[in-house]
DNA sequence: TAACCCATGTAACCTGTTACATGATTAA
DNA sequence: TTAATCATGTAACAGGTTACATGGGTTA
């Protein structure tokens, strides 16, 4: 589990409020981690109690006050230690694959529709990532150390969306082609039996 | 959430015991869903109580008795209904990406090591999937309807492993190349300052 | 004889989601 | 005036992990 680590990682560069973090985990950083605001507030309290982050109250006019959280040296040390520890790869766990696994009990059209929707969702995500890449990472070799690593996580997001899109295309082609083959073979059989 | 649906999907073709399901979710089917045996037993009890599956006690000699679960028509109906409902794409959520996002606070060698380990884990998975593809899905167009869909989920696993491997390679190259550029530029600067 | 496979489960705990709650400011 | 944004939280519930428990059969 990496939610506390993901929060610590997000706080290295600059302090954030819980609200900011929730937005980040729902936006551009959301391709490698996501969390609801409730989860984040709960985790921030815990991390503060453990001395891994500190809070600073910021009074604002015209807006509600907020708490800016910063990582402590203890927090940074534990994050460094965690990074060095061995990690297992995570399984995919996507609903669509469960639906596809049982796809033969549903109308072919329904499955093709699901694949199409999925394709479009991934294309939208890919376009978002590519826009970020162009705006903030157009010259990767000249980036700061911190940004080089953020660039690589963005590249991972891009690679994943591309893989999903490739697969969706492949699956749709396979299902329509083998369907038409099936219909073609039926047609041939009909001709032969006449 | 799709654990109950994943279980129902696994039971369409033939009945399984909880033990069997736990092994399946940990093996070849594990690329699109996984679950511990405790989770599965808990879920099976719930599904049985809801009338979506039925249990049959099987007495064995030389082995502990087991319960074989089969999907009911109600279970199949609810699965069909669920398939037609809209689905959101899942975020990646992999620890390695969190580690990489904070990669600049760790020694470069540590990060490269993590990438290498990750690469090897994905290669091992890919090889496993490719072996299954050769053994059971060598002639995709001739497969039964049910197996066509299982083939497609396997293809998704293959595509994902390939994407991870591509990205790992890309990331390792980027980190070693920009590091040597950095060292080269240092070297040039040293020469100039002399 | 030690470790692993088969087979099922309970209990405690942690993580993640949904619903509820407040309240000012700003844009359509 | 309706909805969205900023900003923080609580409570209840559902999902997932870890530890514990049993016990015969098989393989090294």
B35-89 per-position pLDDT tens digit: 999 999 999 999 999 999 999 999 998 899 999 999 999 999 999 999 999 999 9
CB A30 within 8 A of CB B91: yes
Closest residue (CA) to C1' of nucleotide D10 is A38
Q: How many CB atoms lie within 10 A of CB B146?
A: 15
What is the Cα–Cα distance from A123 to A164, expressed in whole angstroms?
9
Of B9, B106, B181, the CB nearest to A83: B106
Predicted confidence band of residue B194 (pLDDT cuts 50, 70, 90) = very low
Q: Give the CA angle between residues B181, B183, B188 to the nearest 5°.
A: 90
Tell me the nt nearest to B6, Cα to C1'.
Answer: D15
Q: Which of A 47-86 have CB under 7 A of nucleic chain D? A: 60, 63-67
Q: How far is A124 from chain B (nearest CA, A)?
A: 11
Average pLDDT over residues A44-64: 95
Q: In the prediction, which pLDDT does A184 show?
A: 54
Residue A81 CB burial class (10 angstroms; 0-12, 13-18, ≥19): exposed
Predicted confidence band of residue B1 (pLDDT cuts 50, 70, 90) = confident
What is the Cα–Cα distance from A98 to A105, expressed in whole angstroms?
12
What is the Cα–Cα distance from B22 to B35, expressed in whole angstroms?
7
C1' of C16 to CA of B1 (Å) = 11
C1' of C4 to CA of A162 (Å) = 42
Beta-carbon separation of A149 and B32 below 8 A: no
Q: How far is B34 from chain A (nearest CA, A)?
A: 7
Query: Is the pLDDT assigned to residue A1 strictly greater than 90?
Result: no
Of A8, A79, A101, the CB nearest to B9: A101
What is the Cα–Cα distance from A131 to A143, expressed in whole angstroms?
17
Query: Is the pLDDT assigned to residue A147 strictly greater than 60?
Result: yes
CB B190 within 8 A of CB B65: no
Query: Is the pLDDT assigned to residue B152 strictly greater than 70?
Result: yes
Asked whether strand C has any atom less than 7 Å from the CB of B60, the reply is yes
Beta-carbon separation of A5 and B152 below 8 A: no
- With contacts defined as CB-CB under 8 Å, which chain B residues touch A152? 100, 103, 171, 174-175
Beta-carbon separation of A105 and B153 below 8 A: no
CA-nearest residue to A6 within chain B is B98
Asked whether strand D has any atom less than 7 Å from the CB of A20, the reply is yes
Reported pTM:
0.91
Tell me the nt nearest to B35, Cα to C1'.
Answer: D16
Beta-carbon separation of B141 and A178 below 8 A: yes
B21-47 per-position pLDDT tens digit: 999 999 888 889 999 999 999 999 999
Beta-carbon separation of A90 and B94 below 8 A: yes
Among A26-35, A66-75, A177-186, which is the least confidently predicted range? A177-186
β-strands B66-71, B53-58: how paired?
A: antiparallel
- With contacts defined as CB-CB under 8 Å, which chain B residues touch A103? 83, 149, 152
Beta-carbon separation of A91 and B145 below 8 A: no
- Residue B187 token pair: 């070297």
- With contacts defined as CB-CB under 8 Å, which chain A residues touch B122? 89
Beta-carbon separation of B5 and A98 below 8 A: yes
Predicted confidence band of residue A183 (pLDDT cuts 50, 70, 90) = low
């Amino acid at each position: 589990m990496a939610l506390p680590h993901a929060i610590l990682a997000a706080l290295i560069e600059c302090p954030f409020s819980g609200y900011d973090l929730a937005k980040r985990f729902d936006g551009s950083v959301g391709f490698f981690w996501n969390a609801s605001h409730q989860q984040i507030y709960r985790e921030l309290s815990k991390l503060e109690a453990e001395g891994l982050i500190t809070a600073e109250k910021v009074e604002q006019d015209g807006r509600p006050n907020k708490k800016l959280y910063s990582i402590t040296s203890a927090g940074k040390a534990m994050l460094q230690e965690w990074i060095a520890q061995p990690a297992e790869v995570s399984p995919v766990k996507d609903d669509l694959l469960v639906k596809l696994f049982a796809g033969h009990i549903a109308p072919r059209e329904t499955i093709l529709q699901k694949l199409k929707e999925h394709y479009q969702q991934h294309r939208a995500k890919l376009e978002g990532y590519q826009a970020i890449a162009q705006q903030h990472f157009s010259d990767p070799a000249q980036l700061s150390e911190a940004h080089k690593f953020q660039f690589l996580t963005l590249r991972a997001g891009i690679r994943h969306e591309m893989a999903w899109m490739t697969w969706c295309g492949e699956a749709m082609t396979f299902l329509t082609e083998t369907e038409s083959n099936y219909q073609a073979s039926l047609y041939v059989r009909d001709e032969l039996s006449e």
